[in-house]
Copies of this chain bind each other. A is one copy, B any other.
Amino acid sequence: MRPLVSTEGPTGALPWYRPLADEVTVFTHCHRAGLPVLLKGPTGCGKTRFVEHMALRLERPLVTVACHDDTAAADLIGRHLILGGDTVWNDGPALRALRQGAILYLDEIAEARPDVLAVLHPLADHRRTIFVDRIGEAVGAQPGFLLVASYNPGYQRGLKELKPSTRQRFVALSFQHPAAEVEQEILSGETGIDPARALRLARLAHRLRQLEHLGLGDAVSTRLLVDAARLMVGGLEARQACRVAIVGPLSDDRDVVEAAHDLVALAF
């Protein structure tokens, strides 16, 4: 029974990435020390792009798992499949990552059931080895393996929390919304929009984030600005682009929508 091994993840040149703080340094040290990393921060602040960047920078394959309620232990570890009348073991993403010395990225880890994550605990401490009952094999991490997870603390509040016994196995890196000039730089770098309009978008985001009574806070992500910029570069009128790419995804509340449209009208 030979497990199927697959290579996945980014290839090619190191993509453009604008560091926000010391995240590159810390991540590099954790990788060297074999300590798992937790990326904390709001939706759309670039956690996924950062992991893709680090995987290329450290020249490791990247294995991504989008966590959700339904993720079973077998979805991480692997399962037997029946192929051509024979039973063949099929490595799950965790085993593939271990064998390749890859970065295993659990996106939105708090979405997974705590019990499923418990299966990965042996990978997150000094053992770095998982015993797979079904194939009677102890699979140890190849050099370069690193467990990384992302987590949105604000959004999670009151709903899904990471169990302390899982969370404390990680070194934690916080991501925040970038300053306006940094965000302008990101918008130009990612979409090719001219600096003037990029700055207007960044300032619009800054103002929307400040209207605390609107309750939008963390929700005004860089990703929304990138979408708006992309539509503008494609030729859509600026206000129209902001309305459908920024305001529409943020809220259905009539009052919030109107207040946001006013700010859009001021920006462009």
Chain A residues packing against B (C-beta within 8 Å): 4, 6, 8, 22, 25-26, 29-30, 32-33, 35, 38, 40, 43-44, 48-49, 64, 66-73, 75, 80-87, 90, 92-93, 107-108, 111, 113-116, 118-119, 121-122, 125-126, 131, 133-134, 136, 138, 152-155, 164-165, 167-174, 219, 221, 223-224, 227, 230-231, 234-236, 240, 244-245, 247-250, 252
- Contact (Cβ within 8 A) B26 A240: yes
Contacts of A234 in B (CB 8 A): 29, 32-33
Contacts of A227 in B (CB 8 A): 35, 171
A-B contact pairs, 5 of them (CB 8 A): A8-B138, A66-B118, A68-B115, A84-B86, A168-B221
- Contact (Cβ within 8 A) A244 B171: yes
- Contact (Cβ within 8 A) A116 B70: yes
Interface of A is mostly: mixed
| Distance between Cα atoms of A80 and B84 in the complex (Å) | 12
The 8 Å CB contact of A244, one of B72, B172, B235, is B172
- Contact (Cβ within 8 A) B133 A248: no
- Contact (Cβ within 8 A) A236 B168: no
| Distance between Cα atoms of A46 and B13 in the complex (Å) | 43
| Distance between Cα atoms of A79 and B248 in the complex (Å) | 35
| Distance between Cα atoms of A108 and B164 in the complex (Å) | 13
A117 CB to nearest B CB, Å: 8
* Given A8-B138, A40-B248, 19 other A-B residues pairs in contact with their CB atoms under 8 A: A22-B240, A25-B236, A26-B236, A43-B164, A64-B122, A66-B121, A68-B119, A70-B113, A70-B116, A82-B82, A107-B121, A155-B165, A168-B219, A171-B227, A172-B244, A172-B247, A173-B244, A173-B248, A174-B248
